[in-house]
């Protein structure tokens, strides 16, 4: 993959994350004022599709990212840092619960983070001691109009303690990202999480999540709650 194709893949992924609409070649040329022809962009999209980074829904002229595409994007992208509004919001929430015990404080902040990311938050306090919130936000995402996906996630949640115990040793003090088939919390989702002391804290969302923002949010939340 050359630099132009890599940049094109990033644009397609970021656009799809935001719009949930398959991204067409002509649209890319116009929106980003690309200095190449529509034919060149179409050829690059075909190249990316043949190599498994994009797929082409039969009902659409546009492309959407695949699991492989998201994984490549996360590995190659630079952390853009948490936006100031997010830090202010989380600081306010954290300061509101200063008098609570650690467990209640974590739950309160986790609920606020779930609302912020429009997804679910999973907390492992220790093995066999877990908490989750925000499933309603997660299931409101367009992907979960498919009832099979909802069932798959709820089946995992029913055994959450076991799943956290199985994944804990894979976690690190730095944020990890588990996408699709490598995600123990649901193969139709992605997980962005970090280890803390004897547990973990992470976000569960569709594969079409804002990875860079969520990585920063997890890092910042860890610094508030566990350091």
Clarify whether residues 23 and 90 are in a common domain.
Answer: no
Closest CA relative to residue 206, chosen from 191, 221, 220: 191
Q: 140 and 111 in one domain? A: yes
- In tens, the pLDDT along 156-209 reads 888 899 999 888 888 888 899 999 999 999 888 999 999 988 789 999 999 999
Q: Which of 44, 76, 108 is the last residue of a domain?
A: 76
What CATH number should be reported for the domain holding residue 66? 1.10.10.10
Q: Which domain holds residue 24?
A: 3-76
- If you search the block for the tokens 């894979």, which residue do you land on? 170
* pLDDT confidence of residue 172: 82
| 113 & 39 share domain | no
Instruction: For residue 10, give the nearest of 52, 53, 51 by alpha carbon.
Output: 53
Across the beta sheet with 176-179, the strand order is 129-133, 120-126, 199-206, 189-196, 176-179
Quick: pLDDT tens for 11-69. Answer: 999 999 999 999 988 888 888 888 888 888 889 999 999 999 999 887 777 899 999 99
Kindly state whether residues 67 and 124 are assigned to the same domain. no
- For residues 144 and 184, membership in a common domain is answered with yes
Is residue 33 located within the same domain as residue 96? no
Q: Which of 40, 45, 43, 37 has the alpha carbon at shortest distance from 16?
A: 45
**What is the full DSSP assignment across 22-81?**
PBPHHHHHHHHT-SS-HHHHHHHHHHHHHTTSEE--TT-SSBEE-HHHHHHHHHHSPP--
Three-state DSSP class for 5?
helix
The residue from 76, 103, 128 where one domain ends is: 76
Structural domain tally of the chain? 2
């Amino acid at each position: 993959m050359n630099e132009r194709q890599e940049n094109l893949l990033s644009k397609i992924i970021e656009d799809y994350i935001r719009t949930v609409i398959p991204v067409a070649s002509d649209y890319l040329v116009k929106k980003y004022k690309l200095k190449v022809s529509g034919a060149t962009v179409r050829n690059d999209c075909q190249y990316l599709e043949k190599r498994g980074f994009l797929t082409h829904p039969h009902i659409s002229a546009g492309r959407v990212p695949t699991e492989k595409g998201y994984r490549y994007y996360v590995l190659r992208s630079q952390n853009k840092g948490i936006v100031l509004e997010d830090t202010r919001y989380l600081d306010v929430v954290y300061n509101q619960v200063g008098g609570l015990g650690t467990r209640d404080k974590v739950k309160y902040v986790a609920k606020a983070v779930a609302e912020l990311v429009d997804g679910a938050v999973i907390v492992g306090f220790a093995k066999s001691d877990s908490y989750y919130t925000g499933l309603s936000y997660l299931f409101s995402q367009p992907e979960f109009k498919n009832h099979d996906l909802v069932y798959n996630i709820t089946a995992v949640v029913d055994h959450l303690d076991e799943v956290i115990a199985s994944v804990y040793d894979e976690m690190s003090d730095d944020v990890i990202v588990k996408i699709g088939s490598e995600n123990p919390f649901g193969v139709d989702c992605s997980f962005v999480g970090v280890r803390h002391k004897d547990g973990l804290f992470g976000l569960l969302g569709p594969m079409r999540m804002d990875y860079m923002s969520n990585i920063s949010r997890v890092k910042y939340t860890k610094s508030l709650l566990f350091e």
